[in-house]
Structure 1
């Protein structure tokens, strides 16, 4: 077995995909992941709720795109395909739905492939979402998805890792230009714009607590999120806080947490 195939068994090194799985109540995490996750929660007590708000937005966005007739999805920077992720929502509604998960982190990819090995309609590929042409040229992406038809592009775990120095607006434009007309891009983004002073300090401490697991986390304000959708009409209600984007009883969770205001969400249409 290759190193990448056994990497998920490393008991000493925390991994961001497994940490996120832990926040969501999944089973694919190790003691080192839980220890780091608990350390992060100690500086930002709403971190677990923030992850759940993000997953709730993803689930509602997938359901909305299915209502628009979209049955194929490209989930970028996906982490592990667990805990109510894209393929579970889509295939529960339409068993023929196709999903390609993309992550550049070998641990997430190796474990994700094991999780999906019995599901021919959902696959995991190793690629860097910051290189859209390479993602769209990947043989497995082209094998599973019909790129001449509309896609649902899920970006609920990407832009938080892309700094302004990496031209996030240009990255979004590249995906817009590669997608067939009728495609939609769903995006969420960490923010502290609406946070009280104490929570702003906690967000900064959380960003520092993640160092050593990932390179950097980036926060944006509403204007920064709106700029990412340049050239794309926004689906109503536009850019909102994550729990406020088309709330639905099946996926809503209690919003009393300060984390309610720590993430923006929006869906744009490719014309």
Structure 2
């Protein structure tokens, strides 16, 4: 299943996330690390699923708004109901560029997408938008003169305040044509009880050695990221409460319900 150059003994964040989502592209080392993380934050699997659920609803909303091209930043593996599956099911013309800076995720993602001519995966750092937009595959697939759907459901949790996340959002906003939509989700413990806050801190520690530092933000910090954008209703909301499907049951009893904010902003 996996290329021989990928170390099967080293857990990988993209494959761990795939495991949380019920995907098939993960290995024993990933599942072992996922179990360790889950032991300190029991709601971690549900949190991953809520985050993916928001992405799916945001993509569906964007397609309904006429968006036919997408840039998925910090995407991880293009599996388990990811952007291209949702978008192309609603509009077969939809094009998707997945971006990840992690070589293992990119190598496997390219294999997964090899039979999809309207979806590609590129290796680039979402924290360097100038380099990303200069990437030849990005320039080939996306027309920046037309509205773009930008997904940032796995980016800002890795960007600390010392790295100017507001400036990073502005850079993407400025690169997008009017009518573009930017979706963002963010880990937060603002509405969690004391025990869950302690678990989030322990989870951040458990991830060390697999990924970089994780950062949490409160609602005001998330709202600041949308400076210069027009927020789509309902504005900044808890992830499962952003435009939930009418037939969906919101798992309000899970601590994960309160552990992330989500919003979509429009470029005017």
Specify which of 261, 265, 268 is matched with residue 264 of structure 1: 261
Change (3 A) 1:35 1:253: farther
Contact 1:26 1:83 survives alignment (8 Å): yes
Specify which of 16, 19, 32 is matched with residue 35 of structure 1: 32
**CA positional deviation for 1:255:** 3.4
**CA positional deviation for 1:251:** 6.2
- How far apart, CA to CA, are the structure 2 residues paired with 1:129 and 1:157? 10
- How far apart, CA to CA, are the structure 2 residues paired with 1:116 and 1:189? 27
**CA positional deviation for 1:253:** 5.3
Equivalent residue runs for 1:16-95 within 5 Å: 16-95=13-92
**CA positional deviation for 1:241:** 0.2
Specify which of 91, 100, 117 is matched with residue 97 of structure 2: 100
In structure 2, list runs of 5 or more residues that go unmatched: none
Change (3 A) 1:121 1:250: farther
Contact 2:21 2:45 survives alignment (8 Å): yes
Q: What are the superposed Cα offsets for residues 102-155 of structure 1, whole Å, 9 maximum, x if unpaired? A: 000000000000000000100000000000111111110111111110000000
- Per the alignment, residue 239 of structure 1 pairs with 236
- How far apart, CA to CA, are the structure 2 residues paired with 1:88 and 1:232? 27
- How far apart, CA to CA, are the structure 1 residues paired with 2:134 and 2:249? 36
Q: What are the superposed Cα offsets for residues 196-217 of structure 1, whole Å, 9 maximum, x if unpaired? A: 0000000000000000001100
Contact 2:251 2:257 survives alignment (8 Å): no
- Pairing 1:173–2:160 present: no
- Pairing 1:206–2:203 present: yes
- How far apart, CA to CA, are the structure 2 residues paired with 1:73 and 1:252? 28
- Per the alignment, residue 151 of structure 1 pairs with 148
- Per the alignment, residue 119 of structure 1 pairs with 116
**CA positional deviation for 1:65:** 0.4
- How far apart, CA to CA, are the structure 2 residues paired with 1:187 and 1:209? 24
**CA positional deviation for 1:7:** 4.0
Contact 1:153 1:184 survives alignment (8 Å): yes
Q: SS state of the match for residue 31, structure 2?
A: helix
Q: SS state of the match for residue 268, structure 1?
A: strand
Q: What are the superposed Cα offsets for residues 60-105 of structure 1, whole Å, 9 maximum, x if unpaired? A: 0001001110010000000000000000000001111000000000
CA RMSD of aligned residues (A): 1.2
Q: TM-score, normalised by structure 2?
A: 0.97
**CA positional deviation for 1:41:** 0.2
Specify which of 221, 233, 237 is matched with residue 218 of structure 2: 221
- How far apart, CA to CA, are the structure 2 residues paired with 1:245 and 1:44? 23
